[in-house]
Amino acid sequence: MEKVITGKAFVLGDKIDTDQIIPAEHLVYSLSDPEEKKKYGYYAFSGVPLPESGLPMGHKPFIKGDNYLSEYAIIIGGGNFGCGSSREHAPFALQVAGVKAVIAESYARIFYRNCVDGGFLIPYEGFEKLNDKIKTGDELEIDISANLVKNLTTGDEFLLKPLGSVVSIIEAGDLFEYARKTGMIAKG
């Protein structure tokens, strides 16, 4: 696990659901085929309406052109991030797109667990609402050991809630690796 994550922020509002993160019509691609797997990154956030931009639903503001990797490594969300269905494809799609961490005001419990258990993303919670203090495109630095996010664009710093007991799973890589390392299941 990286101890410091840097990258551009992509800022979203409240109640971003899993169908906005990866719409159901894009769940047809193979997770094991390397070329098809890229489609999950390509369609990440394609279900997010952006009324202030005048862009229609289905526009891909998160991915530019025909890429599957986004220029944004850190997502800033509001309350109840990842609500909706329990699909593991949502944090997986963000990981494929190059996202390393999400900082939200709060999470839907299943999305949070899917991030950790699958080793897809680091799900931080802020002590305060950050999606009105950070702007899309701001350069951020998350210091995991200090539970701190620095906005390198503005100079602002914000404390994050500690990851707590899930940090051991995140450090191991995913839940199964954690279980192997701790002897809960056989190595192999």
**Band of pLDDT at residue 51, cut at 50, 70 and 90:** low
Stated pTM of the model: 0.92
Please give the mean pLDDT across all residues of the chain.
91
Among 124, 126, 128, 120, which Cα is nearest to 174's?
A: 120
Rounded CA separation 119/93 (Å): 12
Contact 16, 39 (CB under 8 A): no
Amino acid at 105: E
String of DSSP letters for 17-68: BHHHHS-GGGTTS-SSSHHHHHHHHHTTTTT--BGGGTBPTT--SSS-TT-S
Q: Looking at the domain 4-181, which fold is it?
A: Aconitase; domain 4 (3.20.19)
pLDDT for the residue numbered 58: 47
Q: What average pLDDT does range 96-120 have in this prediction?
A: 96
151-182: pLDDT as tens digits: 999 999 999 999 999 999 999 999 999 999 99
pLDDT at residue 52 is higher than 60: no
Q: Which helix (H) or strand (E) holds 139?
A: strand 139-143
- Domain borders along the chain are 4-181
- Model confidence at 53: pLDDT above 60: no
